[in-house]
Amino acid sequence: MGCMVSTPKDTGGNRRRPANIGEVSVYVPGFRIPKPVDFSQSLGDHLTKNLVERLSALRTRIVVMAGQEAPTVTRTRRKTQHGGSTLADLQQALEDYLPVLLGLVKDGSQLQYKVQFVWVNQEDEAEETSISNAWYEVLSVLHLMAMISLSQANLLLLPRTSADGYQPKVSEENRRASIDIFLKAAGYLDCAVRHVLPQFPAELRRNLPVDLAEGVLRALCLQALGEGGDTQLGMAIDSTKATLAVKRRLACEMVKYWQQAQDNIMNLPLANGWGEKHRLFVKWKYVEAKVAYYFVCLILVFRSCCNPQFSLVFNLYLFFLFRLHGLKPT
């Protein structure tokens, strides 16, 4: 059940794209933005006034914050008047809203069909999609939470000018923090695929916007895992304690994640600039992961043969991997 309406793309649409996205370390395929809904009209006769007002207040806050934050997600982190990150505030707003929203779908409640939720798409041909099903809202919220997490990781992995005045670099603390955020993003997307998508009737599931298609969600989940592995490999390269076997395992995991991400996304009808860039980004990361893996394997072969040229090959390997990760060998 659930009525669906998709609005075709037009020249004066609601998609929000920054004119200058700035420096990017992690590609984020845009924020899907919620549009206002009237809970009082749909749920006023079924829920208490306090609960309806709480739902309205929580969602209105998200609508306002998402509309303000979406055009600047790849730029330098903005601060609120209290000094906090606006991305973190938006994430917190979504976390506050989600448990209340889940009350509409609890135990198969018919309330899940009472409200028509509207979201602006980024990668679909349709400008926006409206569905009278609270599971669509849950899915959209989880997707937005994952995109915010990827945006937060991107900000952490942008090189900063170091105190010693040398080339900008990413601190180890930021890299460690980004790994946790990547895992969190993957968790949101895995939950969406495993627990939310199965709640949709087959026909409605097929007609979801491509932004929320199973292939895209799986690709984004694998992208988050691949980015986390990429960051771990970069840290292993910098560490004198990490063995070649550890580096090989990390490189192998990277290839697996990015190959699966590419398999999930390549044949989907991704539209406009966001979708095309997303597909190309995944393809590029898959090639990069294979290059890293080949170099690790090459070093292991030379080392096992005790080849006197091992030192030269090892240095070449480090040089190329540093270049792949945008770092400068010291």
Asked whether the predicted pLDDT for residue 203 surpasses 80, the reply is yes
Residue 231's pLDDT is what?
Answer: 92
Residue 208 located in a structural domain: no
Name the domain count of the chain: 2
Same domain, residue pair 268 and 288? yes
Same domain, residue pair 51 and 86? yes
Residue 322's pLDDT is what?
Answer: 56
Same domain, residue pair 12 and 92? yes
Same domain, residue pair 179 and 49? yes
Residue 206 located in a structural domain: no
Exposed/middle/buried for residue 192 (C-beta within 10 Å: 0-12, 13-18, 19+): buried
Same domain, residue pair 304 and 196? no
Q: At 261, is the pLDDT very low, low, confident or very high (cuts 50, 70, 90)?
A: very high
237 touches 265 (CB < 8 A): no
Q: Which of 8-12, 105-109, 137-141, 275-279 has the lowest mean pLDDT?
A: 8-12
Q: Which residues contact 213 (CB under 8 A, 6 or more apart)?
A: 268
147: CATH: 1.25.40.280
Asked whether the predicted pLDDT for residue 321 surpasses 60, the reply is no
Same domain, residue pair 42 and 188? yes
Full residue range of the structural domain in which residue 291 is found: 213-330
For the chain, percent of residues with pLDDT exceeding 70: 75
Same domain, residue pair 272 and 157? no
Same domain, residue pair 94 and 223? no
Domain finish residue from 201, 234, 259: 201
Higher-pLDDT residue of 78 and 145 is 145
Asked whether the predicted pLDDT for residue 134 surpasses 90, the reply is yes
Same domain, residue pair 180 and 237? no
Asked whether the predicted pLDDT for residue 67 surpasses 50, the reply is yes
Same domain, residue pair 93 and 131? yes
User: How many C-alpha atoms does 165 have within 13 Å on its Cβ side?
Assistant: 0
Residue 137 to residue 143: CA distance in whole angstroms: 10
Residue 207 located in a structural domain: no
Each residue of 68-98: pLDDT tens digit? Answer: 876 554 444 444 433 346 889 999 999 999 9
Segment 297-326 shows an average pLDDT of 59
The DSSP line for 241-263 is S--HHHHHHHHHHHHHHHHHHHH
